């Protein structure tokens, strides 16, 4: 099973900015990173007027576009899939899966917080919490690094999940 680490936190806590840095750092270290963004909202990923957009609009339950360099798949589903299900279904080759969102996941997680207060944390009681990204040092039982230090979170993930692979 490919290891999974989730970056969770409130809206506008800086999750995307941090995960982007961690992806970049691990990619530079030659790991193959898969990322998963979880959202409860509807999203539009295709461009109006494109062929694939026409296929979807006509009713296709799944549309793919395939080229020698890239494959994209858009599928209608009837329920929210867990991260583990998504990985089993779609991920074949990767060293690490980084997730943005999905704080209910049972995977190890980093909480990203823009607040200076412990009281604002969502996952303090979560046994899967492995670190906190916060610009104030909170003095907790898990490592706490500033949100802009993608390198330190990459170190942590590398040490914990990737050494020896």
The structure tokens 């299900």 sit at 85
Strand partners for 129: 109
Closer of 1 and 58 to its own copies (Cβ): 58
Closest CA to 142 of 121, 158, 116: 121
Chosen residue from 4, 8, 33, 130 binding its own copies by CB under 8 A = 33
Judge residue 15's burial from the number of C-beta atoms within 10 Å of its C-beta, 0-12 exposed, 13-18 middle, 19 or more buried.
Answer: buried
Q: Residue count at the site for its own copies (CB under 8 A)? A: 64
- Nearest approach in angstroms of CB 21 to its own copies is 7
Chosen residue from 52, 115, 128, 136 binding its own copies by CB under 8 A = 52
Taking CB under 8 A as the binding criterion, the range among 59-67, 107-115, 125-133, 137-145 that sits at the site for its own copies is 59-67
Interacting positions 96-125 with its own copies (CB under 8 A): 98, 100
57 part of the interface to its own copies, by CB under 8 A: yes
Chosen residue from 11, 43, 159, 163 binding its own copies by CB under 8 A = 43
Coil, strand or helix at 2: coil
CA distance 144 to 66: 42
Taking CB under 8 A as the binding criterion, the range among 50-58, 124-132, 141-149, 154-162 that sits at the site for its own copies is 50-58
Closest CA to 64 of 46, 81, 79, 82: 46
Closest CA to 34 of 3, 64, 61, 78: 3
Helix (H) or strand (E) holding 65: strand 62-66
Interacting positions 64-103 with its own copies (CB under 8 A): 64-77, 79-81, 86, 89-94, 98, 100
Site for its own copies, rule CB under 8 A = 16, 19-21, 23-24, 26-28, 32-47, 50-52, 54-77, 79-81, 86, 89-94, 98, 100
């Amino acid at each position: 099973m490919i290891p999974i680490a989730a970056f969770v936190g409130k809206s506008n806590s800086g999750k995307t900015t941090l995960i982007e840095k961690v992806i970049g750092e691990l990619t530079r270290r030659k790991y193959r990173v898969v990322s998963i963004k979880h959202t409860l909202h509807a999203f539009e990923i295709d461009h109006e007027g494109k062929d694939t957009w026409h296929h979807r609009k006509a009713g296709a339950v799944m549309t793919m576009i395939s080229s020698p360099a890239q494959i994209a798949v858009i599928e209608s589903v009837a329920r929210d899939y867990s991260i583990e299900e998504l990985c089993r279904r779609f991920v074949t080759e990767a060293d690490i899966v980084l997730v943005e969102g999905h704080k209910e996941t049972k995977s190890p997680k980093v909480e990203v917080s823009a607040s200076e207060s412990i009281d604002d944390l969502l996952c303090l009681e979560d046994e899967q919490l492995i670190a906190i990204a916060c610009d104030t040092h909170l003095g907790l039982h898990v490592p706490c690094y500033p949100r802009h230090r993608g390198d330190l979170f990459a170190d942590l993930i590398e040490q914990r999940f990737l050494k020896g692979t």
